[in-house]
Amino acid sequence: MGRRRKGRAVSGILVLDKPLERSSNSAMIVARAIYKAAKAGHTGALDPLASGVLPICFGEATKFSQYLLDADKVYRTTVVLGEQRSTGDAEGEVVAITDASFLSEADVEAVLPEFRGEILQVPPMHSALKKDGKPLYELARKGVEVEREARPVTISRLELEGFRPGARAEVDLLVHCSKGTYIRSLAEDIGAALTVGGYVSALRRVQAGPFDESQALDFDALQPLRDREAFDELDALLLPLDTALSHIPAARLGEVAAGFLRNGQAVFVPQLPAGELFRLYETTPSGPVFMGLGELLADGRITPRRLLANM
C-alpha cells in the first residue's frame, strides 16, 4: 500500500517571483511549505543568480507542468562586454579581459541580427545537461570540459534596451526565446561576435508561457498569510489549472460525452476547432468545468490524454 502524502490537497498555479541567491528547487520547497501542499513542482529552472517568474504547480496542476516547461520565456539581462568568466555569469572566475572601450551602441546593434530567429547554440559546461549520466556542471567543477553538440533554439525577439560604454561596456537586452535557450551562451556568443568576450551580470525572467511578472508574488507577500494560517487567502492567489494551457484550443462536451471520456472512451465532438490537442470542458448548469486534455484520433474522435482526478 502506497504511503499517503502529507499536506493539503490544494491544486492551482502560483506565479512566484523567485528571489536571487535561491535555486528554483529551493524556492519551490519554500512555496510548498507556505501552502502546506501535499504535492508541488516547478516549471523550468532559474539559476540562483537569476530572479523572476517561476510558476509553481500544486496538486493536479503538476499534470500539466510539462506544457509550461515547453513554453517560450522572456528575459531581461545585462551583459558585460570586455570580460569572460568561467561560468558565463557573474559567479565564475575571470578567464580573459579585453578593453571594450572602442565599442559603440551601433556596434552592438550591428551584431544582434545574427542571433535572431533559429540559431545553433552550444550549451554551457555549467548546465544541468548530462554526459554519461553526470550533469555537466559536476564535470566543470572538476575542471573537465567535454564536447557539446550545438542545438537549435529560436530567439523571437532580441532588443537592445540600454548601452553604457567603457572598458567594461554594459548592454541591457530583452530576449524572447524558445525552451532550451541559454542566456549565458547568448551573452558569450554576442561578446565573441564583438571580439571582446562577454558574460551575464544580471538576469530576470519577466515571462514564462502565459504568465508575466505583473502576476508574480514574492515570499514577503505570502509568508504573512502563512503565519496567520490564512489558507483561504493563499488559495485565492492561485490561478486555475487551465491558465497554463491557454494556447491550446478548447472543446466543450455535454454530460454524456464527458462521462464516456472519464471512462477512457473516445467521443465525437461537434463543431471542433482546428487542432490535435484540446482543453476539455464539461458544460454544466453552473458553467464550463475543466476536465483535462484530450487528443484527436485519425477517425475524428477525441480520446483522453491527461484528465484531472476525481472529476
The three-class DSSP label of residue 91 is coil
| Amino acid (one-letter) located at 176 | H
Element (H, E) at 77: strand 73-81
C-alpha–C-alpha distance, residues 306 and 293, integer Å: 5
C-alpha–C-alpha distance, residues 21 and 141, integer Å: 19
Q: Which of 17, 47, 72, 89 is catalytic?
A: 47
Cell of 147: 564536447
Cell of 12: 492551482
The three-class DSSP label of residue 286 is coil
Is residue 197 left, alpha or beta, with left meaning phi > 0 and alpha meaning psi from -120 to 50?
A: left
C-alpha–C-alpha distance, residues 130 and 179, integer Å: 17
Q: Are 84 and 106 in contact (CB under 8 A)?
A: no
Active site residue 70: no
Which residues are designated catalytic? 47
